[in-house]
């Protein structure tokens, strides 16, 4: 089942988020379990693993902050580490060139935040011609408040993200489906 034409993108899975005011612990343990299963499964299947960190001028996301490091509790040995300054991991990075040089045509997207950098990278990757599997259970997000005052839960945001990506930009899959292990425990 090894597919050397696939890359797992682990987007913005970094300590920076723990220092943001919207950080919530309630979904983190489940997310980390699914993210680790995806990382381990991708590595076992021989897929390339790309770790992408977000950097910008916000204190928590500055390279010199000490927070632009892998989220505690996860183990990853990436084939490539990139730093981005935009929502899409393709903007201002060598990601597309690196993938094409290796003949990679399929991306598995995971990371933090579901509706921001993960969704944006998915849309951009699809527009560039990559087949994209979006693994919602291996993404993490937090409640958001609309200008009207309505609060959207993390589950609301995940459902909305699946709605707008499915069939247009990505195939929405579980960890097992992304790894081609339907019916097997991850």
148-159 tens-digit pLDDT: 999 999 999 999
Domains of the chain as residue ranges with CATH: 6-178 (3.40.50.850)
Compute the half-sphere exposure of residue 1: CA atoms within 13 Å on the CB side of its CA: 12
Q: Check if the beta carbon of residue 44 is closer than 8 Å to that of residue 38.
A: no
pLDDT at 24: 95
* Residue whose pair of structure tokens reads 């560039």 in the numeric block: 128
Q: Distance between CA 25 and CA 23 in Å, rounded?
A: 7
Q: Distance between CA 29 and CA 111 in Å, rounded?
A: 14
pLDDT tens profile 36-68 = 999 999 999 999 999 999 999 999 999 999 999
pLDDT interval class at 181 (50, 70, 90): low
pLDDT at 58: 93
pLDDT tens profile 21-36 = 999 999 999 999 999 9
């Amino acid at each position: 089942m090894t597919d050397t034409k696939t890359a797992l993108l682990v987007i913005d899975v970094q300590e920076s988020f723990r220092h943001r005011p919207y950080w919530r612990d309630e979904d983190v343990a489940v997310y980390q379990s699914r993210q680790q299963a995806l990382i381990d499964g991708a590595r076992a299947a021989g897929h390339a693993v790309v770790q992408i960190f977000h950097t910008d001028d916000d204190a928590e996301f500055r390279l010199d902050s000490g927070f632009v490091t892998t989220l505690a509790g996860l183990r990853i040995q990436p084939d490539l580490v990139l730093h981005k300054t935009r929502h899409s991991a393709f903007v201002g990075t060598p990601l597309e060139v690196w993938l094409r040089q290796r003949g990679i045509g399929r991306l598995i997207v995971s990371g933090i935040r579901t509706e921001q950098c993960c969704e944006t990278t998915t849309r951009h990757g699809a527009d560039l011609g990559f087949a994209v599997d979006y693994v919602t259970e291996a993404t993490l997000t937090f409640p958001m408040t609309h200008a009207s005052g309505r609060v959207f839960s993390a589950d609301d945001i995940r459902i909305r993200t699946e709605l707008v990506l499915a069939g247009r930009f990505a195939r929405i899959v579980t960890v097992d489906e992304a790894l081609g292990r339907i019916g097997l425990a991850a």
